A and B are shown apart, each in its own frame.
Chain A
């Protein structure tokens, strides 16, 4: 099974500043089609997760362009370029390279 590890577990960033969340997989999630099977979700309190990034770097429709994803193979990053109050949430990475699909433990993002 692929183990997903996120860092940090929690993060406090000032409004307008950059937030960076890291995700590492225990084996590569880069497929032969040159796509990384890695997605990011945002989960606000009392709500289901919402997909924000897929294929490691493609923004879901309607997601603000301050959200970006990068990385390949085993190391990935979610960046919010200018933190807004509505971005406070827990963020999860998930690999869908192989079953069982697996999630990182989550990173709680707060306002400093």
Chain B
């Protein structure tokens, strides 16, 4: 059973950069799955942010594209999210998730527990 765990600061100052890491175990992140980040503002719905495909392709939500970076560190079996110039509107629970492609790439069969990131001075 693949497990995903988000980590990173729970508080980020406005205008700074939010950085989160997702550690995957015991599955290798270079083994044909896609990997994504999804967020959920408190009490609200889900918003897809970005994904990194098993082919190395990266996809972004256009609404966040100019501020988002997704990357992978195969040596640590981790992938990461960076979101720059944050505002209070970026306060949310951030989830990392796996897309194994078994149901067509783009749907997520395993999710981390999520981490709350609050943007505040």
Contacts and interface: CB of A to CB of B under 8 A. Distances in A.
Highest count of chain A CB atoms <10 Å: which of B46, B62, B106: B46
Contacts of A55: 103-104
Contacts, number: 65
B45 A92 contact: yes
* Chain B interface mostly: loop
* Number of chain B interface residues as a range: 20 to 34
A47 B61 CA distance: 24
Contact of A100 (B46, B61, B111, B113): B61
Interface string A39-71: 101000001111100110010100000000000
Interface string A86-103: 000000101011011111
A73 to B, nearest CB: 16
B95 interface: yes
B105 interface: yes
A93 to B, nearest CB: 10
Interface of B: 45-48, 51, 59-63, 95, 97, 103-109, 111-114
